[in-house]
Amino acid sequence: MAEEDMLLSADPECSRACPTETPTVKELEELLYTGRPSCNHVDEVWPNLFLGDHNSVHSRFDLWKVGISHILNAAHGTLFCHEPHDFYGATVEYYGVPAHDLPDFDISPYFHPAAEFIHKALSTPGGKILVHCILGKSRSAALGLAYLMIYHNFSLRDAIERVLQHRAVCPNRRLLKQLQGLDLEMQRKKSPRRLL
């Protein structure tokens, strides 16, 4: 197993590094390749939570037909996503995450705010949210996975398996590592520390 793929806990109660249940990047990539071979411009991956590509947000009429009330743009302000906040009109709430699909971009500071926006959308009566980026497979998928982990207590592996039932996604290695970090954070919150 490559050292960069091994994720170890920083639990101070362990006298040495403790392996966690969080899968390695290699294991996650293998899991991602078991998913659907293709996807549509937009797919519902959780009740009223849609993941899509940039083409899925060009028609306000199509968004209205589906009943989209919230849009989370995971590529806000990047080369192909320059819509202003008011592009969708007053009936759609918009949140933009200026994430770049680059090997050194850290999307993790947006995990909790994006998950909160998704949760707010889905808690709104009749609320439906579309999370998109350019291809709808990496940045938007990472934020959708983070939502399932934060608000529905899914492990990273379970969240990926759930999304793969409905859409082919493939967050890049950097995003997978950041999702591993979130997985560890959520595991720590679930299991209280042992008392000495």
- Residues identified as active-site: 133
Return the ∠ at Cα 106 (arms to 31 and 6), rounded to 5°: 45
Q: Residues 140, 131: contact at Cβ < 8 Å?
A: yes
Closest CA to 81 of 139, 144, 133, 140: 133
CA distances from 36 to 44, 135, 168 (A): 14, 15, 5
Q: Distance between CA atoms of 61 and 52, rounded to whole angstroms?
A: 16
